[in-house]
Each structure stands twice: as C-alpha cells, then as structure tokens.
Structure 1
Amino acid sequence: MNPSEVAKITQNLQVQLSELETLQSMYTREELRVEDLNVLAHVNAFVEGRIPDLPNYLDLTVNLLVDKQKFELCINLSHEYPDAEPDLYVRNHKLNKQQHAAINKDLTEFIGGLNRGEECIFSAISWLQDNAENYVVLEQVEEPTIEKNETLVRYWIYSHHIYSKSKRKEILDLALKLNITGFCMPGKPGIICVEGTTSDCNEWWQEIKAMNWKRIFCKISEQCSESSEDFLKFRTFEERVFHNNNIKCNHMDMGELFKFLEDHQCGYIFKDIFGVEAKSNSSC
C-alpha cells in the first residue's frame, strides 16, 4: 500500500473516530455499543501511528425504541467510509422477511442519496426513528402452511466480502434455526455453502440476500433428486476462518480452503467458484 493510500485511510478512520465520539455523547452504552473494543483500540493506535497494520472494520450496534418497539441498527464501517456508504442492517423481531427487506432497502436508498464524504450514521438513525413504525405490523396474520419439498440442494454463495459481525451472526443463527448444514468463510471474498431441503435453503437465502451487500449471489446450485443423506457433505453449520501466514494479507488462505473442501468431498467446486485450479499454498 502506497503512502497516499495509507494517508487516505488514516483520514477516513479519523472521521470515523470523531463521529463515534459524537454519537457516544448522545447515546448511552446500552443504546450504542462498539462490538469489539479491541478493534477500536487498534483503530486509535493506527491513526496515531503507533502500529502499521490496518485494523479490522468497526462494528457498531444502535438500539432504538420507536413507538415502544425495539429496533437494532447494525453498522459496519469499511476503511473507505465516509467516501463509501456504511454497511447497515435493521432488525426487529416483529418484522417478517418481506418487511425486513423493505425497511433495509428503503434505508439503503436513503443513505445512497446523501453526499459521499460526509458522516451519515446520525442521518440513518434519524431516518429510522422517523420511519421505522411504518414497517411494523402489530397483528401478524398466520401464514398458510406449505408442505416442504424434501428435495436436497446445496448452494455456493459468493460475496464481495463478509466482515460485519452482525451479518456473520445472522448467517450462522438462521442456518442453525433452519437445520441447514455447511459453512461460512468470512473475509474478502466471502464464501458460504448451505445445504438442506429446498424450502429451508430458499428461506435462508431470501432472508440473507435481503441484507445490504456490496455484491452477493448464488454462484452454483447443486440438487439431489432423491432425499438421500449421502448428498449432504457437512454435519453442522459453522464459520471457518483460514488464516494466511502473511499478516499483511487480509485474504483467507485459499490452500487451506481447498484442503477443507477436499476433506468434505467438495474439492471439485474450487475451480467452479474461483475459475482457477487450486494450489497447495495461497499467496496474497
């Protein structure tokens, strides 16, 4: 990374710290939470020039009461913020999938209409306070029961990146709730494999892709015509991190990923996902 890039990231992080300090003066610790204080300390140390390594992205959670309804605003700030949009996701236990998708889509469009280079977290909070109640249905209508299609599928999901802790938790929690197996590899790029019945995997995918992503898509879909447990390659769903020995590299070790896939009889998929043959050792 050249000096001008480092200087720009340092400037952006200074803005993030200043904005966070302002928000902390306005909200209590219960209302505004920094998800990882070690990351915050790393950001401060990097800005002050005490360490050369880039910090991880800041994850914040804002808890708001709107018309007696609790909303969570999950925020992930990349090194490019405020020049790039923040990664935002709104949660409320009374919202169904469609309502979650609608409120997050509208919030994303609102943030996208603001000037880049300017702080916008408080604007997002204000928008949520003004509009959140419009998405809540107090009396849920019971949805008709749909008979499950027991056909088994496996989806290979490719994302530009997966850093946000709130998204990673949602990916894991929803998979466990729906009895889906597979894994999630965070980082850049992010890779997710989900396998299970068609209905369960579709429900998981519809909810996850409704989040605010820079880019995410189902790259490969595999299907088993018969309900056979031999089709399933994973016993549980877990997050897997394949660390690269090069501490200056933010990417995962692709050699370790390939070994993991081979151990689960999925090595064949590596070339289909990345377009290249696997190598025993990965470089940055």
Structure 2
Amino acid sequence: MSALSDQIEILQSIYCSEGELDVEPSLLDWLQSRQSGCPGSKPSVLQFAVNVQVPDTAVSIRLHCRCPLLCPTNNHDDTEIELDRPSFHFGTSASLSRELHEALSERLDELVERIFAERDPSECTPSMMTMEIIAWIHDDGARLIQESTLAASGPPQDSSPSQDAGPLVFAREWVYFPSLSTKEKRKDLVDYALRLGLTGFVTPGKPGVLVVEGLDTHINTYFHEIRTVSWADLPPAHKKMTLRHRDKQAISSVRELDALRKFKGMVEIVFDLHGARGNRNSLFKMETFLAEAGCADAFGKLFPEFGQELRSQ
C-alpha cells in the first residue's frame, strides 16, 4: 500500500463519524478510478479537514491540512507517491472571535514547528500530526477558549458593592475544576468573593466546584483578579476551569440582590471526601445539597456527562 493510500485509510478509520472528516473529492475520485483500472489525472496534493468539537465548550474548530504529493504526474501508479511536509491551519468559525482565532492559530503554528523540530520525519505524517494537534486542541486549546469565555467582558470596571443605580444585572456562575487542591488558592477564592460582596461556595478536591453570585460586574472583577493576581504564578495546567452555566437577571437596584441569592456568605464546603487520597467528593451529597439550596437543576449543568450510577461515588 502506498503512503497516500495508507494516510487516507488511517484518517477515515479514526475520524469516521458523519461530518467529521472531509477529504478533497478529486483525490478520492482518483483513488476510486485507479481501483477500477481507469485512473484519471493524478492529484498533486493531499487536502483534508477535520471538524473538532472542543470539550466543555460550544466551540467547533475546523482543522485543515495540506500536504503536497511528490510523484511523477504522468505515472498512474501511486506506489511511487511520497508525502511532502504537511501544513495546517484553522478555518474561521462563528463561535470564535477574531482575537481568539488569531491566538489559537499562533499557538498552532508554534506546535507544528515544534513537532517538526523534535520528531523524526517518519513521525510527521499528516495523520500522526493531525492526531497530536487534535489532542492539543482538547487540552491546551480548550483551556485557552475557556479562559477567554470567562474573560469575555474584558478587564471589568471597578464597582462598589453599595452601587444602587441601573442598569444592573444579577448573575450566578457555576464553574467546574477537574481538581482543586492548593489551600492558599482556595482561600483566595473565598476571600476575594467576600471583598466584592459575592456569595456562594467553593468545593475542593476532585472534582472541584465554585459558585459565585452577585452583581455581574463584581463577578467579572472577581475572575479577573483570580486569574491575574491570585493564580498568576500557577502553571497553565493548574489553572483549568470551565464555566458550565451562568444565570442572569436584570434588576433595578442592589436592594434586590438578597432576594435572588441562593447562598449566604462565601464558604468552603466538602462532601464526604473519600478515595485513596481522601480528595474525592460524594457527588450524591453534593446533588442533595444543591437541591436543598433551591438549585435542583444545577447538578446536571455542572456535570452533564455524569450518569446516575456515578452520583453515588
């Protein structure tokens, strides 16, 4: 089997869901015509695109690959085809701002160059690099998108908790952490919220949960300060947080805030920590707590991927 046929077969076997992989039609037509014994003009490039759904976001990214084919164009046999160095880029997406698209594209270029610099050429095939890039999208790319979502309003304007003029918006944000353990950083999550007049709770361990409620301008300030001050010294892998849900309601005065709050104060809560390291929360007890707080639907928003069988853990 030629390198070209091998690449097509690998890609089609991995990205086999409907609408996931798009290969240049002329290339597929040529391969099919070759099998029938009546090949037409041999293509000069392998082009395909993979549609990637970014985990924990509503963003879908289209990853394009272009790889020139090195072969005599007048030879219908594909056994002599060799693959040149592939190039990659992201297509535009309505779910990505121009700034975020540019940031992701810059990171993609850096990743591709690093792969070429560090890997043997035999490990730089279109299929192998595509798999590595998609793994990067699922990890670092997803984190970049999630951080951008939390900072969508930009550096917020300072606002006093005693503000009493409209237009005002009450908000409650539900944030998921794969793991939340550092004691000092957890303390900041509580202290920064109290200073801004926010209420809610923090749950350390695996998984970690943060809920904050109050004026949306104060919540914007809160996350901006957490990211740029409290957590500024943490490596990117330790900053991963996912905004799972946001409740919003317009109000005419801050005097309406207390009637909308579900939680009193800002505290750290654990739910029957267990496991080998004593850091896993009981999801069943967390779900019960949320229901008693008047947020019965919140558990499904925080953990949409968890089935009933996992809630007893």
TM class by shorter-chain length? 0.3 to 0.5
Q: Which has the larger radius of gyration?
A: 2
Relative to the length of structure 2, the TM-score reads 0.41
Relative to the length of structure 1, the TM-score reads 0.45
